[in-house]
Structure 1
Amino acid sequence: MNKLAGQCSYTYPDNQPFSVPRSVVADNSVPAGTILASWSYADLNVPLSVSCSGSGIEGTTPLVSSSYGGIIANSSSLTVMGYNIAGSLVDSGILNTTVPGIGIRFYVQSDTPDLGNGIDTPAYIRLAGFGDSSGSAVFAASGVEYPYAGPTVGQAALAMSMLRSRTENGTTLWYIPTRSLSISLRAELIKTGYVENYGPVSFSHLFNSWITPSPSGSASVVLPPSIHFLTGTGVTLVRPTCKLSSQRPTDYSVNMGTWDANTISREGAPAFGPDVPVPVELECNGMAENIRMRFEDAGASPLPVSNIGLYDAAGGHKIDGLEIELRYNGNHIDVNGSAVNIGSYGSGATSVGGDKMFAVPSTSFVPITFQARYIQRAMITRSAVNYTGPVSGTVNLFMVYD
């Protein structure tokens, strides 16, 4: 008489964590070996598991079969599933991605207690290429993580006995035990060299294959997914960037002080005022290379001499004869002209958490200091009438970087 001895379930991950958009700063100022980003076991969320649940039915013959796909199991049969990860190594345990200078390291960890430490135990997780690069098998211990070691295929295989036995009144009784196995994966994105190519990075090529499920006949019923968990190009490498510091208003106001309207009468034209510091503090998520800043006069009547035009404070009327010159390190800046190269700025980013491009506001960077000064070229007038009183000018700042 046929009775249900139990059921077994094979659960493959359908999550594709690397399809989720995430920007990662690839900073060439940090050394090789720096972890640029990481995904925890919970972040990747790609557990692989197999579980069997016995019905309590026992038999004297060590044989069970299923009408589904002709599955047959005997006393030596195992429920087996797993996967293989493989690729070229750029360094110890670090696999090459599709972008030179960027590698990835995987770790596996058992989610199951009371694991066996050999193939003669009822349930075990057998690893090859994880935790040991010699090629020898490693049997995972509960709660211990094992890094990919290579040198070729990294294999994680879940296995447990399909049938167990007990003896009662001299009779051996066979049954399907209730048991489960599970293993999880995490990853670290690592800088391995100079990065030239920014944009999407892929890890799909590192998935080698699914292990054919057991016992006999399972392969026709247990069908691993056609799309694996390393699929996706959501991870994008970006250059370090800077922005105006969020710790102070981005509407910079600079008090230029007073200017004696008769200066030109005493000193001649043009008359120059003292330099007034214009500090601009940047917040960077790494060492941004070749930062350039460009200034544009925001007034209604830009000057032809690449300086900042001035207007009265009341009605915005143009002031003639007086203007403001911007300088950097004592050199004239062409307002409305080409950008000023201020070089590299920031500090090496060792890690960027989550998707926050500016995870930790900078408080340590020295401000970039420009200088501003008055220049008087003629008598100061408004609508051809001599003028004294408040004046103001506005300039927009644009930042460009490689």
Structure 2
Amino acid sequence: MKALTTGAVALATVLGLVGTSAPAQGPNGQPVERFGRVFAVSVCGRMQVALQARCFGKVVTDARGNIINGKPDLNRNVTPSGYGPSDLNSAYGLSPAKGAPGSGPTIAIVDAYGYPNAEKDLNTYRAQYGLGSCTTTNGCFRKVNQNGGTSYPRTDVGWAQEQALDLDMASAMCPNCKILLVQASTPSYGNLAAAVNRAATLGSIVISNSYGGSESGSTTYERSYDHSGVAVTVSSGDYGYGVQFPASSSHVVAVGGTRLVRSGSGWSETVWDGAGSGCSSLYGILSNTQSATVTGCPNRAVADVAAVADPNTGVSVYGPVTRSRSGWMVFGGTSVSAPLIGGIYAAAGAFGGYPTTKLYGSATGAFRDITSGNNGSCPTTQWCTAGSGWDGPTGLGTPQGASAF
């Protein structure tokens, strides 16, 4: 079996386990899932209760649920696997950012629960890739609770891993941006909505949200994602065809997922079969954005754009492996793509109105059109199968430079 190209996920620890049945549970109690040639665990689990979201981060493990790169002695310098910032910038057509850390606009990361080592772990990632320090001291990093204060929620390892992923992806795409981490008390729709509103009041031009749940009962909270002049990016989900909220909100940029591989001197992408998509049953089309003639959906269709999400072609992240120790991990899921796209929006700079208005008016050449792959079966083929132009799993495609936004 061929090794993956430079920057892709190291598979040596799992190649000998291809025929092994995965155990019932991984390190945080969630089931170990098989994705092609790798195993991964959904760090926030797959189960949910009414009006509660789950995050969409998937950490790569071996067949027994041991986190790859996370299980050696975490005090030594373990070389990270997975795509790093230079890979991602190359794949999505970004030039190296100019300016010192914190000199750019603010991108907010909204997640649930606490993460005491967020600043320290973020700067380990940034130091590894030469992105410069982003700290409270230099004004680049700020962490608040959903009320804007510094009494933080209780720690949850899975959600802390999600936060590490989000912070690292935002840094990878916009290293000079200010980063605001807003921690909701719990992943209830109400608390996450409060955190999104808090991020908007604190001057963010981008708010990244890597979580979702059922549309049922969500209408009370949709207004919290309506912030003109702010790019609110949201993961489309990790379980194939089927709409998730808040990705189905008319006012957000819904971000699907791809499999990203090197192709000669460039890159190629196909649909990641876990990417969420579909036609909303609750929310209409925002004026001057999507149209039924484009999507085949009379309401809001998901997704708008996409980026890498397949755990087989995952990204490098530094964060909490356990409650007490941090290390290098490899992540997939649309929790990768939402903050990555958010970082590109932040790199593009300020804009007026709703970002999807410009998105659907962008020149075709601003995106890599994804024309291969699907995420399941659906009533209208376009909602789950890639093709020329818009499709559900990848939307308009993946950006080729910040000018797309």
State the TM-score, normalized to the length of structure 2: 0.20
Q: Which has the larger Rg? A: 1
Kindly indicate which of the two structures has a greater share of residues assigned to helix: 2
Kindly indicate which of the two structures has a greater share of residues assigned to strand: 1
State the TM-score, normalized to the length of structure 1: 0.20
